[in-house]
């Protein structure tokens, strides 16, 4: 909506989707050698079938450019809501791990924030050639799947076991592998985020002057500052 002194704009943005990771490995292990002689294997908890969901990334905003004589103010506010989660995770048994299934977890995380921003420009002499400008604004960190993936129990893990190639066929067979020393192999320890974790954000500040040198050419001198908040 545009008038002589106002240029008002409002709208919304929305996105959703998912991230899926499927890992299947030949033999579920990697053979290790020392000076050409087999001595161990790195075993994997594959197959892996992991999925993370972005249930909704919503932004509602309204902003204005309001001109009052030589001063132009640009206030705005934005409401942001981010929801991620984990559906039921399941993977079939592999060579070294049994079948796995994990329950769904919603709101991982569910964050809602109001995001204010303000900009200003002042025509110093009323000639349209010299302007003092400044701005301050909050910007929420972008996160599509990373937070939920951090706590997904369906992850790839490895474990080293000794290997003695008894029949010298250069193929690591189960009977040639030493015992596992990791009773919890393939199972991630229970990890949960602190319920009081808030969405990280940045504060951006700027102030400066812009001068028209001649038609089509201007010079600017600005100071910028960026601050990080709620770091995880």
Predicted structure pTM score: 0.83
Q: What is the pLDDT of residues 66-104, one digit of tens each?
A: 999 999 999 999 999 999 999 999 999 999 999 999 999
Q: Tokens 């060579």 correspond to what residue?
A: 95
Q: CB-hemisphere CA count at 13 Å for 3?
A: 7
pLDDT beyond 80 at 58: yes
pLDDT beyond 80 at 189: no
The residue-averaged pLDDT of 142-163 equals: 93
Closest CA to 185 of 159, 160, 162, 152: 159
Contacts of 3 (CB under 8 A, 6+ apart): none
CA–centroid distance for 58 within its chain: 15
């Amino acid at each position: 909506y545009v008038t002589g002194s106002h240029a008002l704009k409002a709208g919304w943005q929305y996105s959703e989707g998912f991230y899926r990771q499927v890992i299947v490995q030949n033999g579920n292990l990697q053979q290790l050698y020392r000076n050409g002689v087999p001595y161990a294997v790195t075993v994997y908890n594959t197959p892996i079938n992991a999925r993370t969901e972005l249930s909704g990334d919503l932004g509602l905003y309204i902003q204005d450019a309001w001109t009052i004589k030589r001063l132009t103010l640009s206030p705005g506010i934005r409401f942001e809501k981010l929801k991620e989660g984990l559906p039921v995770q399941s993977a079939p048994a592999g060579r070294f791990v049994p079948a796995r299934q994990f329950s769904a977890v919603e709101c991982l995380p569910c964050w809602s924030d109001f995001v204010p921003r303000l900009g200003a420009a002042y025509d110093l002499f009323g000639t349209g050639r010299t302007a003092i400008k400044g701005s301050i604004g909050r910007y929420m960190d972008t996160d599509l799947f990373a937070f939920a993936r951090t706590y997904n129990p369906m992850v790839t893990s490895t474990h080293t076991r000794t290997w003695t190639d008894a029949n010298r066929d250069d193929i690591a067979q189960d009977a040639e592998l030493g015992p596992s020393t990791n009773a919890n192999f393939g199972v991630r320890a229970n990890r949960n985020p602190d319920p009081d974790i808030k969405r990280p954000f940045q504060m951006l500040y700027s102030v400066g002057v812009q001068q028209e040198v001649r038609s089509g050419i201007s010079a600017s001198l600005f100071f910028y500052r960026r601050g990080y908040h709620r770091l995880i």
